[in-house]
Amino acid sequence: MAHQLLCSTSKLEKFVLSSVYKNTNMFQLRRYLTLMNNKNGASIMERVRNQWRLLCKEPPTGFERFFKPKDRASNKTGEKEAGKVKERSATESSKSHASGANAQKSSARDTNKQTFSWNFKTGNNSFGNKNNEKTYIIGFLLVGCTYLYLHYSITTTTEISWREFITKCLNKGIVDKVTVVNKQWVRVKLLPGQLVDGKDTLWFNIGSVETFERNLENAQVELNIEPQNYLPVNYRDELELHHFLKVLPQIAMFLFVSVFVFYFFRKMADTFGKGKKSGIFGPIMESTAKLINSKDIGVRFKDVAGCEEAKIEIMEFVNFLKNPQQYIELGAKIPKGAMLTGPPGTGKTLLAKATAGEANVPFINVSGSEFLEMFVGVGPSRVRDMFSMARKHAPCILFIDEIDAVGRKRGGRNFGSHSEQENTLNQLLVEMDGFNTTTNVVVLAATNRIDILDKALLRPGRFDRQIYVSAPDIKGRASIFKVHLQPLKSTIDKNQLARKMASLTPGFTGADIANVCNEAALIAARDLNDNIQLKHFEQAIERVIAGMEKKTNVLQPEEKRTVAYHEAGHAVAGWFLKYADPLLKVSIIPRGKGLGYAQYLPHEQYLYTKEQLFDRMCMALGGRVSEEIFFDRITTGAQDDLQKVTSNAYAQVIQYGMNEKIGNVSFQLPQPGDMTFDKPYSEYTAQLIDTEVRELIERAHNHTRNLLMEHKNDVAKVAERLLKQEILSRDDMIELLGPRPFPEKSTYEQFVEGTGSFEEDTTLPKGLQEWNKSRNGEKEQNSSKIPQPEAVSKSSSQNQPHQRL
């Protein structure tokens, strides 16, 4: 490549010089070159030409094998001259070095002999060993020199107009000759000794050659010049600067693309060559699974609460790997895998983090989406590489997060990239089923979409256990609050605060509880408080449930009055309905997308009767009925309430079998986003279902209307108080309406009464007392046994949950 570049540049030099010699007067050329003469020695052009000839003559260091030897005799002569300056060396390489030194010394004595150094330096970096960089620098220098030469040849002449040519040159008879260059402009050469504006060469543009010849002839006729004395007109094609500039972008783009492609492939080859697999796509095919260092994980099992059953299952898996003899002696086999399932935010990934941070076995982590790439075959290759890594580090735990990305059901409706996903799933099935009981590799996976996973992936032999991590109950929420309240600065007793917050947050997951604690700290810091108070936690709950409070959302007086009576209808209807949830707070300050907000305290309940569902429908219709009673019109504010009522009614008729005409049947309702092509029942049944749903909603509407007509004055009192204060608490409702006529539970002790204990049971089975310690022999096993601790009594309910980890 370097040889071709040098040959090309040599040809270009000869072409440029020959063009200059042909198209320029030799006398004037020597005159221009004399102006560039240096006082101390040879001219600039001479030195440049000598350097260039030397560059073309001697090959650069490292490129000798690309050049053909021209004349061995000249080399021998050079060696003899070098021997006169230095002693002859024994090796041939030292001879060449001596000849180079002789050449440098002779250059000091003779200014005509020039040398060329190949060790270009930029700062502290030398390009002596990087041949590609030298080639690029030579090319850029050549382009720059060519540009400067052409620019200089243009700037040495003066541009004039046609009229100036006639008046200053032709009329005075000082024109020697006229040359038409490239059929675009004319060079005017004056007689020796004649100057115009200090220059003896002028030029001007022309439109066309025919027009120029006609005008020149007419001008000479007007001057009475004889035809035999007409000015000679020559025509030439010369290399001009604009010709070079036309092709310069293409040349620059070609060089840029060539350099970019060359460096890209070289860097890619260097980078990919360092991987385990050779080739360009080697590292792409490797697994992205990471071996987790327990020191880098700050989560421990003491930081995981509210899912004690799942925690014990995970501890048992670690105990399988640390003490397999404990189970093999009884004939048990180590499970090959476990699937963590449950709603989002319940702590599935947190359990995996705690396992990685506390288990004394290697922990390998990977995400399910990392197996899906645009290249075909990458997914299966990564699966094989991942399990190969697991076998090398056995006994170990392999955790695949969000496995639903790669474990979806296989079917005929999959097109395009799904075929790659199926291949990856097939490889995963093969690798998991290929393990035997002696490999000591346990596979854990987490997902909240177990319904879309392939059945072959969930069968025993691959994932033997399915661990369901549900939303925590009130005891679990109290334990989670104790964990997240520890780093917070508050003067309140944290055990009592955790219990109270657990009773105020039914249905919250671990992620929601962590968000509530963080929001409380942010709210306290926003008001520059020294510590976090109870009101900050209550505001945080409202922020998480209903959204941010919009104090800048200004309502018109009529709209505000409508919202007040709407919320008052909900509050009064729920207050006098037996199975409605207890009311905690009602507000007409806009939050989130709603214009009003009511906070209730649902029961920890898993089974509902027809009467309970009916009262819930009536409470949801309280706002719409209140608008009908007090304003004799309805608004769009009840849209969300009507959706809840409709969903409740259809669930009773279709799913729960609570309708006499439909009977004890259950049809699955389509989920939001699901495509439904047909219904599992006939058109007659569909009409009957619609009729029964309308009758049920109408019955609930009439019941709510009768209730609010009976307590119309109470609705008005609550609405007027809302317009005055904007927020009503439970105490305000008791002041306005009196105590609720039905028994209700509102404290932590009332909710957990009759469940055995006030705190979550965190005791471990005997076999897991020292789950993370190896027991090499039977003697050590007997000595390491610890008696079962007693269950937590009611007297120790104030203490934090005790865990032996």
Question: Model confidence over 457-489: pLDDT tens digits?
Answer: 888 888 888 899 989 988 889 999 999 999 999
Q: What are phi and psi of 697, to 5 degrees?
A: -65, -40
Q: What pLDDT shows up at residue 235? A: 87
Cα-Cα-Cα-Cα dihedral sign, residues 216, 222, 226, 227: positive
Does residue 275 have a pLDDT over 70?
no
Residues in Cβ contact with 442 at an 8 Å cutoff, skipping those fewer than 6 apart? 317, 320, 321, 334, 335, 336, 337, 338, 395, 396, 397, 398
| pLDDT tens sequence across 185-198 | 888 888 888 888 77
Q: What count of other Cβ atoms lies within 10 Å of the Cβ of residue 766?
A: 10
Spatial separation of the C-alpha atoms in residues 165 and 181, rounded to whole Å: 16
567 is catalytic: yes
Confidence of residue 300 (pLDDT cuts 50, 70, 90): confident
Spatial separation of the C-alpha atoms in residues 619 and 577, rounded to whole Å: 8
Residue 608 exposed, middle or buried by CB count within 10 Å (0-12, 13-18, 19+): middle
What is the rounded average pLDDT for all residues in the chain? 76
Q: What pLDDT shows up at residue 284? A: 57
Spatial separation of the C-alpha atoms in residues 255 and 67, rounded to whole Å: 24
Helix or strand or coil: residue 523? helix
Closest CA to 280 of 293, 296, 269, 264: 269
Closest CA to 312 of 469, 461, 457: 469
Closest CA to 310 of 361, 346, 364: 346
Q: Tokens 């040889």 appear where?
A: 3
List the structure tokens of 405.
């990305």
Q: Find the largest Cα–Cα distance for the chain.
A: 135
Does residue 33 have a pLDDT over 50?
no
List the structure tokens of 744.
């209700």
Residue 392 exposed, middle or buried by CB count within 10 Å (0-12, 13-18, 19+): exposed
Whole-number percent of the chain with pLDDT over 90: 20
User: How many residues would you count in the chain?
Assistant: 805
What average pLDDT does the segment 586-595 reach? 82
Q: What pLDDT shows up at residue 6? A: 58
Spatial separation of the C-alpha atoms in residues 485 and 659, rounded to whole Å: 47
Question: Got the DSSP string for 575-637?
Answer: HS-TTSPPEEEEE-S-BTTBS-EEEE---S-S---HHHHHHHHHHHTHHHHHHHHHHSS--GG
The catalytic position among 370, 567, 759, 760 is 567
Helix (H) or strand (E) holding 188: strand 185-190
Spatial separation of the C-alpha atoms in residues 52 and 11, rounded to whole Å: 12
**Ordered alpha helix ranges (H), 86-238:** 92-109, 131-155, 162-164, 209-222
At position 324, the amino acid (one-letter code) is: P
Residue 183 CB-half CA count within 13 A: 3
Bridge-partner residues for 443, per DSSP? 337, 398
Does residue 274 have a pLDDT over 60?
no
Q: What is the DSSP letter of 501?
A: H
Spatial separation of the C-alpha atoms in residues 737 and 574, rounded to whole Å: 12
Question: Got the DSSP string for 217-271?
Answer: HHHHHHTT--GGGSPPEEEE----HHHHHHHHHHHHHHHHHHHHHHHHHHHHHHH
What average pLDDT does the segment 777-793 reach? 40
Confidence of residue 625 (pLDDT cuts 50, 70, 90): very high
Q: What are phi and psi of 409, to 5 degrees?
A: -60, 140
* Residues 251 and 244: beta-carbon distance below 8 Å: no
| pLDDT tens sequence across 243-264 | 666 777 788 788 888 888 877 7
Confidence of residue 617 (pLDDT cuts 50, 70, 90): very high
Spatial separation of the C-alpha atoms in residues 306 and 315, rounded to whole Å: 15
Q: Which residue has the higher pLDDT, 386 or 698?
A: 698
* Residues 752 and 475: beta-carbon distance below 8 Å: yes
Helix or strand or coil: residue 5? helix
**Ordered alpha helix ranges (H), 61-121:** 72-85, 92-109
Confidence of residue 699 (pLDDT cuts 50, 70, 90): very high
Does residue 101 have a pLDDT over 70?
no
Closest CA to 320 of 394, 384, 259, 378: 394
Cα angle at 663 between 657 and 668, to 5 degrees?
Answer: 45
Q: What pLDDT shows up at residue 1? A: 45
List the structure tokens of 641.
């309430």
Helix and strand numbers (H, E) in the chain are 29, 16
pTM above 0.85, yes or no: no
